[in-house]
Amino acid sequence: MKSAFEKRRERIGLLTVVLTGLFGLAAVRIVGLVVFDGPRLDSLARSEHTERLELGAVRGPIVDANGEPLALSALTQSVYARPRLLAASMTRHARARLAAALGLSEAQLGARLRTRSPFVFLARHVESAHARAALALGLNGIGAVSEYKRFYPEGNLAAGVVGMAGMDGQGLSGTELQYDRLIRGAPVALDLDHDALGRPIVDNPLDLRQSVPGDRIELTIDDRIQALAESALADEIQKSGAAGGSVIAVDPFSGAILALANLNARSDSVHSRLHDAAIQDAYEPGSTMKALLVSIALADGAIGAGEKIYCENGRYVVGRRTIHDDGRHGWLDLGGIIEVSSNIGAAKIALRLGAERYYRGLRAFGIGEPTGIDLPGAAAGLLRPPGTWREIDLATHGFGQGIAVTPLQLAMAYAAIANGGLLMRPYLVRAIYDASGRPVLIRSPQIRRRVVTPEVAHQVAMLLRGVVEGSDGTGRLARVDGFAVAGKTGTAQMVNPVTRSYFQNRLVASFIGFLPASDPRLLILVVLRNVGHGHFGGLVAAPVFSTVASGAIRALGIVAPQETPSYETASFVPFDGLKSLFSSKADANTDEATPAPATAAAPGITPDFRGLSLRRALLLARSRALVVKVRGSGFVRAQEPPAGASARDSSVSLTLGAPPAVKGSGARRTERRLASNRAAVGRRRLLQ
């Protein structure tokens, strides 16, 4: 038998082995926890004792040109839940009370809690009273955070321009999206420790930083003109049965958009904020394209200002297609073609001009390319390469069929006619200021290129007056008391996307015009989509133009110019914003026969005013602190003292009249082009 000592030693050895094994297992477990589970456990520990709190920044306001707020942010409460904790402590009665406090049904509350996520929002952007009522129930797993909610104090006014911000404060459309990085500000994330009761511990007061508010956006939109445009458009949509429409008001000399209205007969407020038809939808412009055609033909020398075209008594065959006019017209000059809106006259001008030259001219006017406006989603329209045009395509393009433009594209093309031939870049944001009031952006007008000479622009503007003032004009309903209006009507068939042919009873009716015709301050385009047969542009769109223009000139304080306007009463665009109008770069593409303003003259030396419109002459004189004496109207034909002479008594006398005759080599080239074109036409007629 074993002695007691041996038995004791065996038990000690066995215990040693067991303890050694246990220590080994513990060591293996410790190594596993440190090496493999360490990062996960560290994260769990931090989540139990620390919290990251993000302080959202308030989105900057969006205001109109008069400082009226169009978008603001307000502090609200959002109630959240930790579903697992809440489910363990919530009874059926408590569920009903929580749903009532948040303004939800029990089914809605249950649906939001059925999630695997450890965190869920039960109600976003609610009033403080609702959040307090939910927290007062004392349920475990319920909390609330402060958030900023975007709201629009003017309702849907300028909805497409302002756009929309999402639930989490991100821009979704319009200005809210275009300038989102500036508007949304800079949120602050704070890492805080918790005590045993879960209360935050702030060791360093410097940790309590404030978020940086977003920048203030100032638009060019005038809320008075915008409201008037939307009201007049809504009335006409209801009367005419149109599916929708757009109205654009723009300063033709700067490109600043004063109103941009879009309305649909059947659409909700969300759709109106997410979609901007005036810059995103294209349509066939119809007869409004004729003014661009005539401008291109005059600039190219394809037709003379006094030349007449035979309009075939209302029926003209091109290939296998027949082009019709609304009336039986014989010989018409350019003024007559524009006034009665002859499709046949336009078709013949387009055929004489040719596909390549017409295409280049349209591209110069900005057709077929985005306008560069500071809003997202702008469309380029449709202008096919000239190599794909058949003869009938060229003819119908002359009166706006087969070409698609956005309303803003057409408005800026006509603005080039109104301002003397310069294509401007349109813009909607005139200034941006940070939270401290320091300017971040001050917008200045920007010239894209010269399209036509001032002489051609003036000629076409005078032709457009006949549309409104002429006895046979199609736009007589666009008249504005006391003002001369230059404009053009348009009526185009809508394309059936299924059959790719034209609807017979669905039209796009439009009118575009500017006033005062001799000194344009305001350009307005009205487009009504999907109106019935017989609703022509001159009948449904022109009256909207008259209503909006009448109110806009009162809002802007525009006074009808006298026959010989004086320096004191003339209207001005701020010269600092339009210095580029007189730059040599802007006039780089001008015909050599067009006098360029001599803005580089030294102080005390008279600059060259010849060839300038009255408006541009006054701006130039203002920049040189010269007093102007004016005789006549139109463009500057003569000046005293002459260019380069000393400015006596800081004054200059200008004699205005019709555009000066082109002299020199430019005139000889023009005459050669005219002679060549006439000879070619004569040869074609002999061959027929």
User: For residue 51, what pLDDT band results from cuts at 50, 70 and 90?
Assistant: low
- Is residue 511 situated within a structural domain? yes
Q: Would you tell me how many other CB atoms lie within 10 Å of the CB of residue 577?
A: 17
DSSP of 250-316? E-TTT-BEEEEEEEESS--HHHHHH--HHHH--B--GGGGHHHHHHHHHHHTSS-TT-EEE-GGGEE
Kindly state whether residues 141 and 120 are assigned to the same domain: yes
Question: Considering 182, 217, 252, which residue would you say is the last residue of a domain?
Answer: 217
Q: Which domain holds residue 369?
A: 223-556
Asked if the model's pLDDT at residue 599 lies above 60, the reply is: no
Mean pLDDT of 213-239: 94
pLDDT above 60 (res 26): yes
In a domain, 672, yes or no: no
CATH for 493: 3.40.710.10
Mean pLDDT of all residues in 34-53: 64
Radius of gyration of the chain (CA): 36
Do 467 and 419 lie in a common domain?
Answer: yes
Assess whether pLDDT exceeds 80 at residue 594. Answer: no
Confirm whether 461 is domain-assigned: yes
Domain shared by 505 and 537, yes or no? yes
Q: How confident is the model at residue 648, as a pLDDT?
A: 62
What does the pLDDT look like over 120-165, one tens digit per residue? Answer: 888 888 887 888 888 888 788 788 877 788 889 998 999 999 999 9
**Domain count within the chain:** 3
Q: Are residues 402 and 510 in the same domain?
A: yes
Residue where a domain stops, chosen among 217, 237, 268: 217
Specify burial of residue 654 (Cβ count, 10 A radius: 0-12, 13-18, 19+).
buried
Cα 350 from chain centroid (whole Å): 31
Mean pLDDT of 109-114: 81
The pTM assigned to this predicted structure is: 0.72
| Mean pLDDT (whole number) for 474-487 | 94
Considering the domain architecture, whether residues 509 and 542 belong to the same structural domain is answered as yes
Q: Same structural domain for residues 609 and 582?
A: yes
Contact 479, 502 (CB under 8 A): no
In this structure, the dihedral spanned by the alpha carbons of residues 362, 365, 367 and 370, taken in order and rounded to 10 degrees, is 150
Split at pLDDT 50, 70, 90, the class of 563 is very low
Output the pLDDT for position 649. 67
In a shared domain, residues 206 and 304: no
Q: Which of 192-201, 361-370, 389-398, 629-638 has the lowest mean pLDDT?
A: 192-201
Residues 405 and 547 in one domain: yes
- Predicted local confidence at residue 217, as pLDDT: 96
* pLDDT above 50 (res 664): no
200 pLDDT tier (thresholds 50, 70, 90): low
Whether a cis peptide bond, with omega within 30° of 0, leads into 497 is: no
The catalytically annotated residue of 73, 173, 287, 613 is 287
Instruction: Give the range among 27-31, 526-530, 569-573 with minimum mean pLDDT.
Output: 569-573
At residue 190, the pLDDT reads 57
Is the Cα torsion angle 651, 655, 656, 660 positive or negative in sign? Answer: negative
- C-alpha triplet 483, 488, 492: angle, nearest 5°: 150
Asked if residue 668 is part of any domain, the answer here is: no
150 with 174, same domain? yes
Mean pLDDT, residues 676-688: 36
- Give the mean pLDDT of the chain: 81
Residue 17 lies in a domain: no
In a domain, 662, yes or no: no
Which of these three, 527, 556, 585, is where a domain ends?
A: 556
Residues 424 and 548 in one domain: yes
381 Cα distance to chain centroid: 15
Residue 423, both tokens: 């294509």
Residue 26 belongs to a domain: no
Is residue 436 annotated as a catalytic residue, yes or no?
Answer: no
Task: Residue 166: give its domain's CATH number.
Answer: 3.90.1310.10
* Least reliable range by pLDDT among 267-276, 508-517, 592-601: 592-601
Task: Identify the pLDDT of residue 552.
Answer: 96
Domain of 639, CATH number, reads 3.30.10.20
Looking at per-residue confidence, does 38 or 459 come out higher? 459
